[in-house]
Amino acid sequence: METRPLLKHKGILLFTTILLPFFLLPFFGSDTAWSQPKIVRDARPGDCIACHGDGKALSKNHPGTTTMDLKTCKTCHKDEQAEGKLPVSLAGKLPLSHMHTLGGTDCKACHGEQLKPLGADNCLTCHEDYKAGGNRLNTSLPKVHDSHMGDLSCDLCHKVHGKSVNFCSQCHDWKYKVP
């Protein structure tokens, strides 16, 4: 009667020491699509491979980007690109941190030397006139920053270090391109 608990204990021991690490290795033990890009503080703005390294950030036939800036990228990736047409607009495709860096505004310009976290109010330092402009990317839709909900925090839609979202689409069927 004592052998069953002992066998059960050996089975758990076998699973946790040999099999479980084997199954987890692809997620933690190698540089896969699951891993984050490494931060290379002195990388040139257009040098995607310096951080992403694996080549998955760009399509296979994409030209080299090491010396590119935002203006150069936009010679092909136009903001007003038709839906489904290649090459796609960068609006909503690249995180805003990448767009800012390619445009000549590096991390230290906003975050300072210590790279401290920021609130959305910091956006207004450079983008104080955001309500004055029209819907450059969404010309047929209601003016996006004139919300019936009042002044909203920039980061409800604009994600500096991730994919931006269309906050309005929670209630409305407006398909805004959100940079």
Give 135-159 pLDDT, tens digit per residue.
777 777 888 888 888 888 888 888 8
Instruction: Report yes or no on 27 lying in a domain.
Output: yes
Instruction: Report yes or no on 128 lying in a domain.
Output: no
Alpha-carbon torsion angle 8, 13, 19, 25, nearest 10: 150
Cβ atoms of residues 138 and 132 within 8 Å: no
Instruction: Report yes or no on 118 lying in a domain.
Output: no
Q: pLDDT value at position 30?
A: 42
Q: Domain range for residue 14?
A: 1-34
Q: pLDDT value at position 28?
A: 46
Instruction: Report yes or no on 8 lying in a domain.
Output: yes
Burial 129-164 (b: 16+ CB within 10 A, else e): eeeeeeeebbeeeeebeeeeeeeeebbbbbebeeeb
Instruction: Report yes or no on 7 lying in a domain.
Output: yes
Query: What's the helix, strand, coil split of the chain in %, to 5?
Result: 35, 0, 65
Environment class of 87 (CB within 10 Å of its CB; exposed 0-12, middle 13-18, buried 19+): middle
The Cα–Cα gap between 64 and 71 comes to: 15
Into how many domains does the chain fold?
1
Cβ atoms of residues 86 and 115 within 8 Å: no
Residue 171 has pLDDT above 90, yes or no: yes
Q: Which residue type sits at 79? A: D
Instruction: Report yes or no on 116 lying in a domain.
Output: no
Q: pLDDT value at position 62?
A: 85
Instruction: Report yes or no on 18 lying in a domain.
Output: yes
Q: pLDDT value at position 32?
A: 39
**Tokens describing residue 39:** 């931060």
Mean pLDDT of 19-40: 52
Query: Which of 11-20, 61-70, 124-133 has the largest mean confidence?
Result: 61-70
> For residue 122, which of 91, 96, 95, 150 has the smallest C-alpha distance?
96
The Cα–Cα gap between 103 and 71 comes to: 7
Residue 12 has pLDDT above 90, yes or no: no
pLDDT tens digits, 74-127: 888 887 766 667 777 787 778 888 889 899 988 888 888 888 888 777 888 888
Cβ atoms of residues 159 and 96 within 8 Å: yes
Instruction: Report yes or no on 10 lying in a domain.
Output: yes
Q: pLDDT value at position 10?
A: 63
